[in-house]
Amino acid sequence: MVFWVLMIVSTLCSCARITALSGGPKDIIPPQLIKVSPTQESTGFNGKVIKLVFDKEIEVTDIYNKLVVTPRLPRLDKRPSYTCDVRGKTLKLTLHVPLQEETTYTFNFNDAIRDVTEGNIAVEPVLTFSTGDYVDAMYVTGQVNHLMTQLPAAKTLVALYQADNECLNILNSPPDYFTRTDEQGHFKLDHIKKGKYYMYASTNKEYQLVGNPGVDEYGFLKHPIDLTVAPRDNVTLLILKADVRTFTLQSQQPQDRYFELSFNKPVEDYTLELVRESQGLKKSATLCSQLVASKQIIRVYNTFDLSKGDSLEAHLTAKDAMGNVIEENVTIYFKEGRYPNDPASYVFAPASGTAIPPHFTGTMTVSKPVKEVVAAYLRFDINGQGSVCVDAKDLQFNAQRDIITIKKQLDLGIMKPLESRDNASKGAKELVLQMAEGAFVTVEGDVSKEMCYVYTLGYPEEFGTIKGTVTTEAPGFIVQLLDLESNVIDSVRNRRNYQFNAVAPGSYRLRLLVLQDKESEWSFGNIHERREPDPVVFYPDNVAVIANWEIEGIDFFF
């Protein structure tokens, strides 16, 4: 009898066991928020517990990073400002810090909450409440763009700092209010307490609230925005990378076969001049150096025959992109011993296959300073009908002699009899730049191998012209012709009636850099001095260039 009772109980228990259904449609509905405490946009809250109840069981992921509370909660030394507990359909936050009086708080959970069955993410549940008698209604909306391209800056931090904070340093202070832009660079900061605020934007990492000026792009407004009377719409913030860290010479010492001066950030320009010549020199000394390692190291080559333990003294003047200057004397010496010589590398632009105008400009970039260029080893072959030699006057060197520019006006008359040129212009013409072995010799004796670059050569009528005017009261400006990847193709300075000739057919952008002085460089500004970058103005539309056509009216007004 007992046996049969146990069998019946076992059968009933088996029937009552809940099993997951299979074969039905997948649940794609996100959890819906059905109850909150305190209630949405309620006032007078002075509690320590916040609850959110959903219509299905939930779980949270990385909530201590994803939950954004504005104004931000103060941090504790050894534990978070709140703890989170999830049970079934309910999420409970217990606050461990006091809330400010007469303040509106917004808790934005972003994508931290999802259901436990299919992982459907709750659609950014946001809770707003006030500790005072009313909910703050001030807000600011706007757009963040990259200054040098005008393209929208997605997922960029936008932050507000109370302007009356005398100890404020935007680069190391967490903001009072913050959000991130959407994919189109738009942003909105809601429920802000009345006041005046400094604004800042930065491309820092998702969960960081303090920018790194050596890594991030950032931008700011020089003057605070006033939210004491009315909200602000359509505020534009422009960001760029401007490294305002103190410019320092970090080390000066021999490295293998070289002597190197290392800096904490890129060097924009420098000079290195001998102060005295060592008595141990066996021949007249010439300093050969160049920038390496992303322009953070000045490498000096041993072009001297120094005696053991001998050295040279040189005067260094180095400038960074922000205009900061280092000026001091350095002692140059080299290690004893033999070190392997890395062969020089060569990169020439434009690359083979490019269509070029008769006025040729090309640049050879060498991984070491060049001691000699044998112009007689350089020539142009045009359509197999004739050659044009490169003369010494056609060569230009940068200060470090590691970039050599070739500028040559090619005579198209050698290609066809004059009466046949109209017909010849309809066909492709091949131009081959021949560089014989030994055309380039570096300061370490590297001899270049034979190289050649093949181009399509066009007559002037196969290219276009862009013309326009600049109307401005600014003392100086630079007009730049850009490709659609924002590479600078050509530029002109301070020409109110400007013109770009021999432009290959295609689409381009036009950019104007406004200068503080006619001959000055464009300024990055300085956030420490609350000095904004010099203005950058874009022509609003892309410019389509076609062959044998002048594009006029590309005008700037600033």
Q: How far is CA 447 from the centre of its chain?
A: 37
Mean pLDDT of 321-328: 94
Question: Where does the pLDDT of residue 417 fall: very low under 50, low under 70, confident under 90, or very high at 90 and above?
Answer: very low
Q: What does the alpha-carbon distance between residue 314 and residue 326 come to, in Å, rounded to a whole number?
A: 13
pLDDT score of 333 more than 70:
yes
Does residue 424 have a pLDDT over 60? no
Strand partners, 406: 362, 395
| Per-residue DSSP letter, 369 | -
Least-confidence region, from 102-111, 306-315, 367-376: 306-315
The amino acid at residue 529 is E
Q: What is the C-alpha to C-alpha distance for residues 437 and 29, in angstroms, rounded to an integer?
A: 70
Decide if pLDDT at 385 tops 80.
no
- Please state the rounded mean pLDDT for residues 59-83: 88
- Contact, 153 vs 181, CB < 8 A? yes
- In 3D space, the residue among 173, 222, 181 whose CA is nearest the CA of residue 203 turns out to be 181
The predicted structure's pLDDT at residue 308: 67
**Residue 277 pLDDT level (bands cut at 50, 70, 90):** low
Q: What CATH number belongs to 463-557?
A: 2.60.40.10
Which residue has better confidence, 37 or 420?
37
Pairing of strands 497-503, 104-108: unpaired
pLDDT at residue 480, rounded to an integer? 98
| pLDDT tier for residue 202 given thresholds of 50, 70 and 90 | very high
pLDDT tens-place string over residues 120-159: 999 878 999 999 999 999 999 999 999 999 999 999 999 9
pLDDT in tens, 476-528: 999 999 999 999 999 999 999 999 999 999 999 999 999 999 999 999 999 98
Q: Judge whether residue 392 has pLDDT over 50.
A: yes
Distance CA 489, CA 394 (A): 20
User: Does residue 412 have a pLDDT over 90?
Assistant: no
The per-residue pLDDT for 19 is 44
Angstrom distance (rounded) from CA 260 to CA 534: 34
CATH number of 33-130: 2.60.40.1220
In the chain, what percentage of residues exceed pLDDT 90?
69
pLDDT beyond 60 at 283: no
Range(s) within the chain of domains with CATH label 2.60.40.1220: 33-130, 346-461
Which of 198, 342, 147 is closest to 257 using CA atoms?
Answer: 342
Confidence band for 4, pLDDT divided at 50, 70 and 90: very low
Domain 346-461 CATH assignment equals 2.60.40.1220: yes
Confidence of residue 425 (pLDDT cuts 50, 70, 90): very low
In angstroms, what CA-CA distances link 475 with 184, 217, 472? 34, 28, 8
| Highest mean pLDDT (candidates 9-18, 131-140, 272-281) | 131-140
pLDDT score of 399 more than 90: yes
The yes-or-no verdict on residue 375 having pLDDT over 50 is yes
Q: What is the pLDDT of residue 415?
A: 55
| Per-residue pLDDT, 210 | 73
Q: What does the block give as tokens for 111?
A: 């994508």
Which of 17-21, 48-52, 317-321 shows the lowest mean pLDDT across its residues?
A: 17-21
Longest dimension (CA), the chain: 121
User: How does 288-309 read in b/e, with b if 16+ C-beta sit within 10 Å?
Assistant: bbbbeeebebbbbbbebebeee
- What is the overall mean pLDDT for the chain? 88
Instruction: Dump pLDDT digits (tens) for 334-362.
Output: 888 788 889 999 999 999 998 888 899 99
Which residues have CB under 8 Å from 419's CB, separation 6+? none
Residues of the chain with CATH 2.60.40.10: 138-239, 463-557
Point out the least confidently predicted range of 49-58, 190-199, 299-308.
Answer: 299-308
Separation CA 408–CA 394 (nearest Å): 6
Q: What pLDDT sits at residue 2?
A: 40
What's the confidence (pLDDT) of residue 410?
A: 84
The encoded tokens of residue 116 equal 């436990």
Interval 95-116: pLDDT, tens? 999 999 999 999 999 889 999 9
Look at residue 426 and tell me whether its pLDDT is greater than 70: no
Q: Which of 302-316, 391-405, 485-499 has the lowest mean pLDDT?
A: 302-316
In the prediction, which pLDDT does 423 show? 47
Model's pTM, two decimal places?
0.82
pLDDT number for residue 16 = 40
How far apart are the C-alpha atoms of 176 and 193, rounded to whole Å? Answer: 10
Percentage of the residues of the chain whose pLDDT score is greater than 70: 90
For 72-108, letters b (16+ CB in 10 Å) and e give bbeeeeeeeebeeebeebebbbeeeeebeeeebbbbb
Tell me what pLDDT residue 413 has.
Answer: 66
The architecture that CATH gives domain 249-332 is Sandwich (2.60)
Which pLDDT value is given to residue 383?
77
Q: Which residue has the higher pLDDT, 508 or 28?
A: 508
- CATH fold of the domain at 138-239: Immunoglobulin-like (2.60.40)
Judge whether residue 420 has pLDDT over 70: no
Nearest to 350 by CA among 468, 509, 502: 502
Neighbours of 535 (CB within 10 A): 16
Amino acid at 354: T
